[in-house]
Amino acid sequence: MINIGVLALQGAVREHVKALQAPDVNVVVVKKSEQLDQIDGLVFPGGESTTMRRLINKYGFYEPLKHFAEKGKPVFGTCAGAILMAKELVGHKEPHIAVMDITVERNAFGRQRESFETLLKVKGIGEDVEGIFIRAPIIRQAGEGVDVLAEYDGEIVAARQGPFLACSYHPELTDDFRMHQYFVKMVRESMEVPA
């Protein structure tokens, strides 16, 4: 049994919990930083990144989240979660948790009314992955160690760097749970001790 947490400060927490559910997965709704010690992987849900950062600071999550990532435990960020993970943010001096060598631009596709759905070709997952983009960010640049998993209109919308996975869209708002299954596999692989 593996334990995967969903950071429950803001965003589509219930939807991520549902998407992660499997016979061998125990999903933990993370509301206190101490719970990070009990999980093997963590999801940063979408929401509003500035609000999420304020809540991370308010509830004492900042250092524990950095420590969790530094231990090499897998983290999956969707939409605002990807913004939290980026080492650089366009138009901002300071990043948030800064665990992935990516540069992200917030609201890069426009405001709420410019939200859209499309099918994406996602490396290692499929050619028909449903992507729901809501005030979505774009990954403007990816560092050397970053594997680009998906692009839309020539822009990066999903990437992986070791134990870290980020996407601009909301896979949790669909009935296609392959992105979450991919992350569960990442968590499982991170727990396998090499012989």
User: Catalytic site residues?
Assistant: 79, 170, 172
- Contact (CB, 8 A) for 148 and 159: yes
- For residue 172, what is the DSSP state? G
| 3-class state of residue 97 by DSSP | coil
Please report which helix (H) or strand (E) contains residue 19, including its range.
helix 13-20
- Whole-angstrom Cα distance, residue 74 to residue 168? 18
What one-letter code names the amino acid at 64?
P
- Contact (CB, 8 A) for 28 and 12: no
